[in-house]
Amino acid sequence: MTQAKRGITAEDLYQMRYASDPQLSPDGKTLAYVENQIDESHAYQNHLYLRKLDVDDPLPLTSGSRDTYPRWSPDGSKISFVSNRSGKPQIWLIDANGGEARQLTRCKNGVSNPTWSPDGKYIVFSSILDEGETFADLEAAEEKEKAKAIHVGRMKYKSDDLGFIYEKNKQLAIVHVETGEVTPLSDGPYNHTIGSWSPDGKWLAVTANRSEDPDFQHGIDVFIIPSEGGEWKKLTNSKGIFAYPTWSPDGKKLAYIGSESDTHLYAAQKRIWVYDFEKSDYSCITANWDVQVGDSTIGDMRSPGHPNPGAVWTADGRGMYFIASERGNSGIYHVTLDGQVTTVVTGNRNIYGFSLHENEQTVVAAISDPSTPGDLYQVSLKDGEEKRLTALNEELFAGMELPVPEEIEFVAKDGWKLHGWMLKPVGFEKGKKYPMVLQIHGGPHSLYGNTFFHEFQLLAAKGYAVLYTNPRGSFGYGEHFVQACCGDYGGNDYRDLMTAVQFACDHFDFVDEDRLGVAGGSYGGFMTNWIVGKTNRFKAGVTDRSICNWVSFYGVSDIGYFFTAEEIQANPFTNPEKMWQHSPIRLVENIETPLLIMHGEHDYRCPIEQAEQLYVTLKHQGKAPVSFVRFPGASHELSRSGDPEQRVLRLQYTTDWFDSYLVAHQKEKVE
C-alpha cells in the first residue's frame, strides 16, 4: 500500500535551499554559484560552490556564514566574493583551486558589488560613508557613544533596506588586488551604484542621482567616469531610472536598462537602451516590444534584488541577452541593435539569473517554478537542450505533495483580459467543497507567476484552494496595463480581483462560496483592507505590512511623499480629499470581516503606524474580531528575507486565523 504524501509545513522553511548567482569561468568550463539555506540555529547561511560542467559533483569552495557574490578574475585564477566572516561584509579572495581565503577590504560599513578590472589588477566596489567620512577610515572604529540628538537635514533620511541613514551615502572606490590600497572615486551627498568597466579598463559606467536636490529629483542617471580620476560624463537626461550599464566588446557602445518618463518612476516599463559614443546619442532598442525587461516576479523564498546580469552583449557586439517578464513567466531573450527580439530560454517558470558563455554556446540559468524554490540548469544555445545541475530539495520534497497551479484567464466587466492561477488543496477529492483564499501581491507593480511560493503551498496543505491573479497595475501585460491603477487604487484593480473571485466560484465547483478568505502584503495589504471595507463576502482577512491611510503614509514612509504623487496622484496640500478617498481607514465602519493585522516594527516602507491606526480604529469602533501581531526588528522584507523564526511564526498566525474562521466555523455549522 502506497503511503500518502504529506503537505508542506511552515517549519519546512528551515530545510529548504535554493541556488543563485551562477557565474561561468572565463573559459566556460567551470561554474561558481551560491547555495542558500537556513542552519540549525535558524540563521541564514550562504556557501559558494564550484562545479566542472562535465562533472556531476559540485565542490564546496567556502563554508563561511554568509558568502555571496562570487566573481571570477579575468584570467580565471581567483574568485572574489563578499563575506561577513570578519563582521561586516567585506571583499575576500580565494584561489580557484581552493585554499584559504584572503580578506581584501576592511571598510567599517561593509562593501557591495565588487567588480574586477579587465586586467585583473583592481576591483571597484561601493561602501556606505557618513558625511565627512573617507575611505581612509578603513578599519572598523570602536562603537561610538549613542548620540543624544540627531539633526536630520534631508527628506530621504531612512531606508527600508538600510534603516536610518541620515547623511550617509553609497560611495565608490577602487582597491588594488595585491596591495589592498584603496582609491576613492566618488564623494558628495549622492548614492552611487557600480555598473561595469570599459574593455580597455580606462572607464567605469555607474549610475547615480547627482541632481542638485535628490530629495526632489528622483531620476537615476548613467555616468561614465575615468578609472584614474577625472571629469564625469552624464549619458542620460534625469527623466527616468536607469541601472545595470554594460559595455559592448569594442567599447563603442553602452547598454543599460530603465525607463525614461516625466510622470512615472514605479509604473514605467523597463526597456533596453544603447548609448553610441561615436554618435554621442542614445536610443531605446526595445521601444516597440511592450514587455517588462528584468525579473519582476514575486515569491517568498528569495529576497528582491538578487544580482541582475543586465544586458549581456554578444561577442560581435550586434546584440545582447537579457531577462524579461511576460504573462507570469520570466525568461531569457536576445535582442539585436535594430530591436529584433527572439526567445532563448522560456517556459512556465521564473528565470531569476543567468551566466552565458558564447564561445561554449552555453548558458546556466537559475530557475524556479511552482514546485522548485530555485535550481540551476545548463542550456545549450545550439539546440536548447537542458541539463539540470542541482536538485537541492529533491530529498526533502520526495515525501511531499506539492500541487501544481492551474492557469486561468477571464475578462473584466469593462472588457480587459485578466490572468491568474488556481492552486488546489493537497489531497484534493472531486465532489468535495473547500474554502478558498484570495492572495493579492504587493507592488502593485510586480507580478505573480510560475515561481515557488511557500505560503501558497502551505495553505494548500492546510486544505485551502488558493486563488492568485495579476490585476491591472501588474507587470507582464504591457505598459498601459501596469499604469492603469495609478490614481485609481481601489477602483478597477479592486473590481479585477472581485471578478477573479466570481470567476473561480463559477468555474471551480470545489470552491465553497461561503468560506472565502483574503490576504495580502504591502499593496496587497492595502487592497485587503479596502476589500473588507467594501464587501462582507469574505469570512476572514489577513493584512500584512499594509497601508490604511495615505495622508499619514505621505510623511512616514521612506518613499511616501513621491510614491503617493505618482500612485495616488495626490498630496496633502492640494487635494487631501483624494488621498482620504483612497484610504481604507475611512471604510472601517463597514468592516465586519474578522481581520488579522501583522506588521514589522522596523518597516520603513509601510511603517507600523499604519497597522496601529487600523487596529485602534477597529477596536474603538467595536468592530468584528480583530487581532494585531507585531514583529520586533522586522522590516518590510519580513516574509521573504526576514528572521526565519519570524517568517515561520507569521505563516502559523496566518493559517491559524483562517482555520478559526473558515474551518472551525464550518464544523460548528455542520454540528
Quick one: which of 535, 542, 526 has its CA closest to 582?
A: 526
> What is the rounded average pLDDT of the residues 653-663?
97
Q: What are the tens digits of pLDDT across the range 567-584? A: 999 999 999 999 999 999
Q: Which residue has the higher pLDDT, 264 or 146?
A: 264
268 or 4: which carries more pLDDT confidence? Answer: 268
Q: What is the pLDDT of residues 6-57, one digit of tens each?
A: 999 999 999 999 999 999 999 999 999 999 999 999 999 999 999 999 988 8
Tens of pLDDT along 474-520? 999 999 999 999 999 999 999 999 999 999 999 999 999 999 999 99
Of all residues in the chain, the percent with pLDDT exceeding 90 is 85
Position 665 scores a pLDDT of 63
What is the band of 147 on the pLDDT scale with cuts at 50, 70, 90? confident
Domain boundaries 401-670, CATH class: alpha beta
For residues 102-109, average pLDDT: 94
Q: Is 657 helix (H, G, I), strand (E, B) or coil?
A: helix
Q: Chain-wide mean pLDDT for the chain?
A: 94
Helices and strands (H, E) in the chain, number of each type: 12, 39
The mean pLDDT of 161-189, rounded to a whole number, is 91
Return the closest-CA partner of residue 326 out of 242, 419, 257. Answer: 419
Residue 228 zone, left/alpha/beta (φ > 0; ψ -120 to 50; rest): alpha
Which range of 107-111, 238-242, 248-252 scores highest in mean pLDDT? It is 248-252
Residue 469 has a pLDDT of 98
Banded pLDDT at 144 (limits 50, 70, 90): low
Whether residue 319 has pLDDT greater than 90: yes
Nearest C-alpha neighbor of 43 from the set 70, 68, 21, 13? 13
515-559: pLDDT as tens digits: 999 999 999 999 999 999 999 999 999 999 999 999 999 999 999
Q: Cite the active site residues.
A: 522, 636
Q: What is the pLDDT of residues 331-346, one digit of tens each?
A: 999 999 999 999 999 9
Mean of pLDDT values over 419-429:
98
DSSP labels, 185-208: ---SS--EEEEEE-TTSSEEEEEE
> What is the arrangement of strands in the sheet containing 192-197, beginning at the earlier edge strand?
192-197, 203-208, 221-226, 233-234
Residues whose CB is less than 8 angstroms from the CB of residue 309 and which lie 6 or more positions away in sequence, other chains included: 244, 322, 323, 353, 354, 355, 356
End-to-end Cα spacing for the chain: 33
Share of the chain above pLDDT 70, in %: 97
φ/ψ (deg, to 5) at 443? 125, -90
Amino acid at 171: Q
Evaluate if residue 275 carries a pLDDT over 50: yes
In this prediction the pTM is 0.96
> 304 falls in which pLDDT band (50, 70, 90)?
low
Q: Cα–Cα distance between 546 and 530 in angstroms, integer?
A: 10
CB 166 within 8 A of CB 147: no
Which H or E element spans position 507? helix 492-507
**Lowest mean pLDDT, pick from 66-75, 88-97, 146-155, 483-492:** 146-155
Q: Which residue would you say has higher pLDDT here, 137 or 374?
A: 374
* Alpha-carbon torsion (516, 522, 523, 526), positive or negative: positive
Residue 225 identity: I
Q: Check whether 666 has a pLDDT greater than 90.
A: no
Question: What is the band of 612 on the pLDDT scale with cuts at 50, 70, 90?
Answer: very high
User: Has residue 404 got a pLDDT over 60?
Assistant: yes
Q: What is the dihedral angle through the alpha carbons of 577, 583, 586, 590, rounded to the nearest 10 degrees? A: 140
Q: What is the pLDDT of residue 499?
A: 98
Which SS3 state, helix, strand or coil, does residue 665 take? helix
The pLDDT of 563-567, averaged and rounded, is: 94
- pLDDT: which is higher, 312 or 56: 312
Give the CA count within 13 Å in the CB-facing half-sphere of 435: 27
Residue 668, all three cell numbers:
460548528
Q: What integer pLDDT is reported at residue 513 of this predicted model?
A: 97
Kindly report which listed range (209-218, 384-393, 413-422, 528-537) carries the lowest average pLDDT score.
209-218
Provide the greatest CA pair distance for the chain.
80
Distances (CA, A) of 319 to 75, 118, 280, 312, 429: 25, 21, 19, 8, 51
pLDDT score, position 137: 65
Residue 140, pLDDT score: 46
Asked whether 487 and 308 are in contact (CB, 8 A), the reply is: no
